[in-house]
Amino acid sequence: MKEHPAAAAFFRRVAPEHGLTQLFDLLPDISVFVKDRRGRFMYLNPRGCEYCGVRCAAEALGKTDRDFFPPEKAGRYMADDRRVMADGLPALNRVEPEPGGKGSPQLVVTSKVPLRDSAGKVVGLVGLSREVTGVAAAPLGVGRVAQAVALFHERFAEKLSVAHVARQVGVSVNQLERLFRKMIGESPQRTLARIRIEQAGRLLRDSHLSMAMIAQACGFYDQAHFSHAFSAETGCTPLAYRRRHQAG
């Protein structure tokens, strides 16, 4: 998205100590975190401190997920961070287990967006996690949403329909739609489309496959459908994205 000149000038004038982190500190139910390219915490709001088990952000700054979470969980978080920063593409509305507590039955919806410097280089990321709503009232619903998201990640390359996934998790299409909108805030179709775009971005960056082959590998109808969906999501064409990331 092209930045408005007046908006860009305005934010350059805002001192860091009076920036958006003050607002993030006031969010009681959402964890907000900023990491650098090495995965070190540069900012953590109070909810994020709770997940990490620290009293204040100062105890977490400069440290990584490995300092706070079990090895398997920390490794998964950091690998996901590296993909976001390498691809330059956001990872949006991921359903995953709550970071805090061993064996916690809670689920969170996590999104991560790459942070760029004034030259456009990715220097880190900002992320947020919020608890899936309605957990106490509808534990089966939460489980089915998590199962559906897992299926999307496992089978995004297939001509996968929401109707098929709904049958697999034991609900109707309308029920699955309602569960997704209530717990994630978007439709299952939208979640599947985002997963396909993320995977396509990685193939554009890391391979020399043709656009038609990438479209097929990521579950799009054809190359035209892929190009339109990718451009709408990222603001640039697949070819422009590939050239930018494979330059040199």
Model pTM score: 0.62
pLDDT for 134 equals: 46
Low-confidence ranges of the chain (pLDDT < 50): 1, 102-105, 134-138
The answer to whether residues 233 and 197 touch, using CB atoms and an 8 Å cutoff, is: yes
Q: What pLDDT was estimated at residue 138?
A: 46
pLDDT at position 248 is 52
* Secondary-structure class of domain 13-131 per CATH: alpha beta
The residue ranges of every structural domain in the chain are 13-131, 139-246
Q: What is the pLDDT of residues 62-77, one digit of tens each?
A: 999 999 987 877 888 8
Q: In 3-state terms, what secondary structure has residue 56? A: coil
Q: What is the dihedral of CA 208, 212, 213, 218, to 10 degrees?
A: 110
Q: Which amino acid, residue 196? A: R
Q: What is the pLDDT at residue 135?
A: 42
Q: Which CATH superfamily is domain 139-246 in?
A: Homeodomain-like (1.10.10.60)
Strands 41-44 and 30-36: antiparallel
Distances (CA, A) of 7 to 21, 94, 122: 18, 30, 20
